Structure 1
Amino acid sequence: MSSEKFEFAQDELETQLENLSSGIRSLGTSQGEAKKRNIQVCEKCLEDGEKLMDEMDLEARSAPLQFRAEMIASVRSFRSRFALLKSSYRSVSRSTYGSGETSEQGRVVGDGLREKVINGVRTLERTSESIKRSQQVAIETEQIGEGIIDDLGTQRESLERTRTRLVETDIELGRSKKILRKMYLNVISNKIILTCIILIEIGILIGLIYWKFFSKK
């Protein structure tokens, strides 16, 4: 994780959830002042838990992109666990209110509540494990996606370099064509000049022959 504040809030929230779970277990069997203390503990855990999750959510949404998805997934996992514990607490706290029960009725209700709390905690643990597995799959999927994006980026850079080399090669070919064209024109010009020189020399030679052999007559 990228935020120390996020990690601190995460540790604190984990502690609050453990305290809340313990308080819910005790609430089903406690009586009188002990029950009131358990209710106070649970309410305090719920209040603090809400604040901590809000802090974690703010930190996650402002985190760097490479950490954001994992942090948001962690917040969602905690929210799910928190919601299940909160629902369990509300159910147990409603069931425990009432008066005028006989001791036998109280024992039966207590046993039922204890079993209900245990079942609820077990369900919460299974749900938490499922959420953790889903979170891990999401993280692995994100990592695979990031790897693919990195590979695509590398391939794009390679294609860009290849394209640049092709452009440079095309420019060089253009220059070569210009040089060859100039050389061709120079060869043609030299041939024309050479031909003219040869014709002039032939003309001079003919003139000299005519002057030597025919002009004296």
Structure 2
Amino acid sequence: MSSERFEYAEDELEGVLERLGSALTQLETSQGEARKRNQQICEKSLEDGSKLLEEMDSEARSAPLQYRAQMIATVRALESRLQLLRSSHRSILSGSKSARTSATGGSGKQQQQAGDGVREKVISGIRTLERTGDSLFRSQQVAIETEQVGTGIIEDLGTQRESLERTRNRLVHTETELDETRSVLRKMTWNVLTSKITLIAIIFIEIGILVAVVYWKYFRKTS
């Protein structure tokens, strides 16, 4: 993970959930001062769990992108576990109130039935918690695998981008060299053309001189 605070809060929350589950089990069967003590433990654990979840959620949302999905999935899994334990706590308290009402009416059988109903709800909640935890774990694994695939794609795209940039740089360099080559060719062409014009001019001059010499040597003396 990218945050030590997140990992520390996760460890703390795991301990709180274990303590809360144990207190709920004892709360169902305890009486008197022991029941009050377990009730205080449950309330304190629920409060601490909510604070730790808020801290973890804040850390997860500000984490780097490559860690964010996994961290948020962890937060959601722990949040579901806490909510199920909270529901079990409410069910136990509700069952206790029903049991006290039945006791006022003097019906021991109804007390037993109320206690059995609460126990069944707690067991059902624990089973639901386990199934939800397994489902969230699988979802978390899928999210991690998807994130890894996405990271690999991003790395491949980064490599391809670097390759394209190198190719583009080579093309720019090649184009520059071609421009220089075209400039040199234009100069060479101009030099060749100038040389041809100069050569033709020299030839015409020599022909003119030759005609003048012949005329002066032969036709001038004759006249």
TM score, norm. by length of structure 1: 0.90
1:164 to 161, 169, 173: 169
Q: Are 2:130 and 1:125 equivalent residues in the alignment?
A: yes
Offset at residue 103 of structure 1 (A): 4.1
Give 1:160 deviation, angstroms: 2.4
Q: What CA distance in whole angstroms lies between the structure 2 residues aligned with 1:48 and 1:56?
A: 12
- Tell me the residue number matched to 1:80: 80
Q: Which has the higher contact order (CA 8 A, sep 6+)?
A: 1
8 Å contact from structure 1 (residues 26, 38) kept in 2: yes
Write the distance in 2 (CA, Å) between the matches of 1:157 and 1:170. 20
Q: Which runs of 5+ in 1 are unaligned?
A: none
**CA apart distance, 1:67:** 2.2
Give the letter for the 2:214 counterpart.
I
Deviations 1:164-217 (A, max 9, x none): 322222222222222212211211111111111111112222222233333333
Contact 1:25–1:114 (8 Å) recurs in 2: no
Assess if the C-alpha contact under 8 Å between 2:91 and 2:118 holds in 1.
no
Deviation of 1:132 (Å): 1.3
Deviation at 1:13, TM superposition (A): 0.2
The one-letter amino acid of 2:123's match is I
The count of corresponding residues between Structure 1 and Structure 2 is 217
The percentage of counterpart residues that share the same residue type is 62
Moved more, 99-108 or 57-66: 99-108
2:10 and 2:67 map into 1 onto residues whose CA distance is 15
Alpha-carbon distance in structure 2 between the residues aligned to 1:178 and 1:145: 49
Which amino acid letter does the alignment assign opposite residue 95 of structure 1?
Answer: G
Match of 1:63, SS state, is coil
Q: How does 1:1-217 map to 2 (within 5 A)?
A: 1-97=1-97, 98-99=99-100, 100=103, 102-217=107-222
- How far residue 102 of structure 1 moved from its aligned partner, in angstroms, is 4.2
Listed as ranges, the gaps of 5+ residues in structure 2 are none
Amino acid at match of 2:124: N
Distance 1:70 1:76 in 2: 10
The amino acid across from 1:159 in the alignment is L
Asked if the contact 1:6–1:55 (Cα under 8 Å) also holds between the matched residues in 2, the reply is yes
Cα distance in 2, alignment partners of residues 16 and 184 from structure 1: 89
Shift of 1:50: 0.9
Question: What is the alpha-carbon root mean square deviation over aligned residues?
Answer: 1.9
* SS class of match (1:2): coil
Deviations 1:115-165 (A, max 9, x none): 321121011011011011112211221221222122222222222222232
SS of the counterpart of 1:216? Answer: helix
Could you state the TM-score of these two structures normalised by the residue count of structure 2?
0.88
